Amino acid sequence: MWADTKRTLLPDLYSGKDTVVQNAVYTFIALGKEEVIPELIDTLRRQGNKNMAETYLHCGDTRLSDAARDGHAGGGMRSLAGRALARCVGARGSSGKGNRSVPGAVSVGQTIGICSGSPIGAADA
């Protein structure tokens, strides 16, 4: 089933259509399969936006969080991710709930409302 899902969603990441790309990104993150992380990082760099950066920041995977923080040259993602992180931490304080790598951050489930918020890779365990 995963092979069919991946075969269906991977082309969506490269479709160039914002809604299609975002739906594929959110679905891949919700499924928690580590093998698609390089494609997700590439998608953020190619076609990322504020919502995608926020999702990556709070998804529970350090590589995706780092990609959102690092941004890409000329794309403005660095400042978007920084503002998203500041807003999230400022709103929730440093309660330690949510993402282990970002004190006070919300989980993916809280951010986009489509999954349990389990960190990427948890579904593989």
How confident is the model over 47-61, as a mean pLDDT?
92
In single-letter form, the type of residue at position 71 comes to G
DSSP 95: -
What tokens appear for 104 in the block? 């006070």
Question: Would you list the domain boundaries of the chain?
Answer: 2-115
What rounded mean pLDDT belongs to the chain? 72
Give the chain's end-to-end CA distance (angstroms, integer): 17
Q: Say if residue 5's pLDDT is above 50.
A: yes
Question: Tell me: the pLDDT tens digits for 71-119?
Answer: 743 355 555 555 544 444 444 444 344 444 443 444 444 333 333 344 4
- The number of residues in the chain equals 125
Structure tokens at 125: 């365990």
Contact 82, 53 (CB under 8 A): no
Q: Is 90 exceeded by the pLDDT of residue 38?
A: yes
What pLDDT does residue 71 have?
Answer: 73
Q: Rounded to whole angstroms, how far apart are CA atoms 57 and 97?
A: 14
pLDDT band at 29 (very low <50, low <70, confident <90, very high): very high
Average pLDDT (24-47) is: 95
Mean per-residue pLDDT for 64-68? 93
Alpha-carbon span 38 to 19, nearest angstrom: 20
Give the count of beta carbons closer than 10 Å to the beta carbon of residue 90.
9
